[in-house]
Structure 1
Amino acid sequence: PDPVAVSRVVSAGGRAILRCGLTGFDETRIEELLPRYLDLYAQRGNASTHLYPGIDDMLRDLEARGIGWGIVTNKVGWLATPMIGQLGLEGRCGALVAGDTLATRKPDPAPVVLACNLLDADPARTLFVGDDLRDIEAGRAAGTRTIAAAWGYLNGGDPRDWGADAIADDVAALRSCLHPDRDVR
């Protein structure tokens, strides 16, 4: 399959990836193949997964300032938890709300509200960053301020159309959104 086409659907999950790579397969066959795909994904681990350049420094800056942060993902916990460890974020991430933590997932606001509760954070004073329309919808519905990360997977969408409170074209712009009171280059 075309890696660019697959990258456009990665944030939509395993089913979307299989649909993209296995054109012509009906939904029944996709459902049959999904467990095997997820097993292979888990076996391979997150070998090619890494933080975007500058993200770790930004997170460490937040931590140094006593600002907690968390992750809300639609990825199931048995895949998300090892990834957090592999990325060196275990023990640093104050809240991990995975796609199977609750009965609902983003764009429902409940996972974002749970993350805020786990962080003891007031949603009205929370910035929720995402690279998918579902992230912005969930954050807005939860009462957070939202930032669209315009460099992520984006699921083929244009973050300027999502109604986020701010758009960060890169990590430096995201840092500026998080620290509007100072120059962060």
Structure 2
Amino acid sequence: MDHKILQSTRELIEEVGYPAMTVDQVAARAEVGKAAIYRRYASKAEMAYAATMHGQRLSPLADTGSLHGDLLALVRTFHVHMATPAARQVAPALIAELAANPELDTRFQDTFLTAEHADLAEIIERAVTRGELAGPVDPTLAHLLLLGSLAAGLYIINLPVDDTVIADLAAAAAAGIAALADRHNSAPGGTARPD
């Protein structure tokens, strides 16, 4: 049932556009009741976000052996979903809904963002274990540096994001995360903070 709802949502966004799509249309196409949709998603925007961006990641988190490589693999995965015409319609609508609906914002934080932060926490932990980072970094800051920059480029600046830009974002995020790790895990004077 979940697959049918998300697939129907994607199809309708492509056919009629996000603004014209309704939950009734999705329910009819997926052959489910509206209640089944609202048990899963608090709003049309949340359902569309899951269908176009978040619910489509099929591959497990890559372990490339380096912080930069892991970040590059992650940002490439997200770019595939975030750069689609459907995602470009849905993301601004979702941002507007999050600002107006605290309950939806909490759900979004607790589901989608928690999963993304967990991925980044795993990447950071591996980098610390490999000795690439001086210590842990808040995954929320890593998220802002990498995926926040990608979202701003795609949805606000309307930057043509190609693989060169993606590689630059990953390099900048890796450098920023390393700088934060150094800053947060060193005492004044350059010695490591005691645990």
Q: Report the structure, 1 or 2, having the larger helix content.
A: 2
Task: Report the TM-score, using the length of structure 1 for normalisation.
Answer: 0.26
Task: Report the TM-score, using the length of structure 2 for normalisation.
Answer: 0.25
Highest CA radius of gyration, 1 or 2? 2
Q: Report the structure, 1 or 2, having the larger strand content.
A: 1
